[in-house]
Structure 1
Amino acid sequence: MREFIVEADGGSRGNPGLAGYGSVVIDAATGETLVERAEYLGVATNNVAEYRGLVAGLRAARELDPSASVRVRMDSKLVVEQMSGRWKIKHPDMKPLAAEASRVFPPTQVTYEWIPRDRNKHADRLANEAMDAGRRGEAWSPSASTAELDARAARSAVPEPSGPPGDAAAGAAKARAALAEGRAPVAARPRGGAAKAEADVRAAGNVATGPSEAPPGEAGTTPAPAVGWGASPDLGAPATFVLLRHGETPLTPQKRFSGSGGSDPSLSDVGREQAERVAAALAARGTIQAIVSSPLTRTRETAGAIAARLGLDVVVEEGLRETDFGAWEGLTFGEVRERYPDDLDAWLASPKAEPTGGGESFAATARRIAATRDKLTAAYAGRTVLLVSHVTPIKTLVRLALGAPPESMFRMELSAASLSAVAYYADGNASVRLFNDTSHLR
């Protein structure tokens, strides 16, 4: 029986945001790339794009040989675990896509394997090519991907002199497969002027070249960015958002709902002291280049204390405001449970549910925050910016950066006057650097 490897990936620039997928079918025996698939999806979530990539890869494999066995390799733990039957599929958008994927081949012919993201670079590259093409209003074309890798890999491959005819082509396929996995073929490692050829192939394949070996801070060197999964140093300096939750208000210790639809309280004496401590800590670090604040009073007061210490102006951004909690504003969780039990249960179960009285759902908040994030990353590319905001917006930025599901919001603790940080790179990737740091308050 013939065996294929299907590698698939999907991504969205924003979650939901502009999305695309990439899939590749590989001959398991030779490592040769047989088929590539990629498509721009418009606005979709990251998980939807990943499932669409899986379906496309499986369909491409079936077109080659419906009797083949298939090993699916993806860096999405969610998709792998759900398709393996170990995790339940709860999200309504995922169920039909998972069902569609399961119908392409008989289940006995398909196995699923999770791989790290840096081993799924071929499919990831295709997904990014599709998204780039979609933003230009074009359809994705494979002409600039596999064909070029084939040619470059063939130029760098060194066939064994005693091998039979055809070894050069096989060597090229193996070289391309090795480069797509992030390793150069031993016989083809270039020196001198050939180093650029390898760099070109790695760039074409979106393969990370690894971190700089120079010690951090050494004169004349720039350390590679610490961005989770294999980002290349040539991406440039990220837009780094230092996320500060405002200081305490009179409602904070009582854990009352305090959004953008309530009384807009000022900082308490404790909150003002917290703001001063944050200001001192940030002044000592000396890295903040701009300050952007939610329009609500407690955030503007917190931002003002820091701006006075750092000598910076405060830019007010409406998109950073807290969620509107409707009729729950000013109430404790227990009071909401007592007065609106059904509405609270629905809100806890679905990000699309609104608080009683026409409040803002977490899904609506996420769309607003994603749009604000995209706006600010474009405006402050390569700079370190303090964003003074609230619990829900900060948790949402972290959740989106991690690609975590909406229910993760309820599993994060975010203290008053705490600092978090997320770096955003030019290729759309994000790296969470810090979360809920309160060391400056001690």
Structure 2
Amino acid sequence: MTRFWWVRHGPTHRKGMVGWSDVAADLSDTAAIARLHDHLPDAPVISSDLIRCVTTADAIQKDRPRLPHDAGLRELNFGAWELKTAAEIEASHPEAIRNFWDRPDLNAAPGGESWTDMTTRVGRAVDRLIETQTGDVIVVAHFGAILGQVQRALACPVSEVLGHKIDNLSVTRLAFDGRRWHAEAINHIP
């Protein structure tokens, strides 16, 4: 069995759509970082290659082994909508943004990727981890990447999984027993 301890990176305080933009995480809440560190198992740590995940992984790693960063674990690519607010996108692309939120599995921002594209990419990264890791693995990633794997574990439609909350510095625990996925905890705040 491989158990994934998904950790969402520290907050960025950005109000726009932050996908592949490389923005820093605020890790000033040292008490929350300490609780998170103490809650996690002694297991290898891997993260998305974006700085907000890398620095969060650095903060919780301590003596844990580190696996190389993986770009496959990145957030949804919002393309031309990167760092824009919903109001800005609504003003310039009202029909496109409505289509995107109505069916994110099929629609993408201009130059970006759909939910299905993202979950396929992240799923491949997770499958590579399953091939090389057994036991516990700590994965520091993004809201969309984590929710995509929750969707995989629950075998539910995207409209249902988007109702879940994934807070910054929360832990979502998903396990794969070799045949099926199990959602053990979603959005746990240590």
TM-score by length of 2: 0.91
The structure with the largest alpha-carbon Rg is 1
What SS does the aligned partner of 1:301 have? Answer: helix
Q: Choose which of 23, 28, 53 in structure 2 pairs with 1:299.
A: 53
Q: Does 1:266 align with 2:24?
A: yes
Deviation at 1:240, TM superposition (A): 0.6
**Within-5 A mapping of 1:42-441:** 238-251=1-14, 254=15, 256-260=16-20, 262=21, 264-267=22-25, 271-274=26-29, 276-285=30-39, 287-307=41-61, 309-350=62-103, 351-356=105-110, 358-381=111-134, 383-426=135-178, 428-438=179-189, 440=190
Which 10-residue stretch deviates more, 316-325 or 403-412? 403-412
What secondary structure, in the 3-state scheme, does the structure 2 residue paired with 1:363 have?
A: helix
* 2-structure distance, mates of 1:366, 1:284: 29
| Structure 2 counterpart SS, 1:299 | helix
Contact 1:303 1:314 in 2 (8 A): no
Q: Please state how far the C-alpha of 1:303 moved relative to its aligned partner.
A: 0.4
Cα deviation per residue 1:12-53 (whole Å; 9 max; x = unaligned)? xxxxxxxxxxxxxxxxxxxxxxxxxxxxxxxxxxxxxxxxxx
Partner of 1:315, secondary structure, is coil
Partners of 1:279 and 1:310 within 8 A in 2: no
Tell me if structure 2 keeps the 8 A contact 1:415–1:436: yes
- Counterpart AA for 2:19: G
Question: What amino acid is aligned across from residue 295 of structure 1 in structure 2?
Answer: D
The gaps in structure 1 that reach 5 residues or longer are 1-237
Q: Partner amino acid for 2:24?
A: S
Task: Please tell me whether the aligned partners of residues 243 and 388 of structure 1 are also in contact (alpha carbons under 8 angstroms).
Answer: yes
Structure 1 residues 333 and 348, CA gap change in structure 2 (3 angstroms): same
Rate the CA distance shift 1:375–1:244 in 2: closer, same or farther, 3 A.
same
Matched positions, count:
189
Q: Give the SS at the match of 1:431.
A: strand
Q: State how far apart, in whole Å, the 2-side matches of 1:286 and 1:409 are.
A: 24
The structure, 1 or 2, with the larger RCO (C-alpha pairs under 8 Å, 6+ apart) is 2
Flag the structure with higher helix content.
1
Indicate the SS of the match to 2:68. strand
1:196-221 Cα offsets, whole Å, 9 max, x none, are xxxxxxxxxxxxxxxxxxxxxxxxxx
Partner of 1:91: none
Q: Deviations over 1:168-194 (max 9, x none)?
A: xxxxxxxxxxxxxxxxxxxxxxxxxxx
CA contact (8 A) 1:241 1:386 kept: yes
Q: What is the CA-CA distance between 1:277 and the residue it aligns to? A: 3.8
Supply the AA of the counterpart residue of 1:434.
A
Q: Residues 240 and 421 of structure 1 are in contact (CA less than 8 Å); yes or no, is this contact kept in structure 2?
A: yes
Give distance in 2, aligned partners of 1:286 and 1:364: 30
The CA deviation at 1:265 is 0.9
Q: Please, which runs of 5 or more residues in structure 2 have no aligned partner?
A: none
Percent sequence identity is 25
How far apart are residue 250 of structure 1 and its match? 3.2
Q: Which runs of 4+ in 1 moved over 4 A?
A: none
Q: Which amino acid is 1:436 matched to?
A: N
Q: 1:384 to 1:334 in 2, by over 3 A?
A: same
Task: Determine helix, strand or coil for the equivalent of 1:387.
Answer: strand
Secondary structure at the aligned position of 1:396 is classed as: helix
Greater mean alpha carbon deviation, residues 239-248 or residues 314-323: 314-323
SS in 1 for 2:98: helix
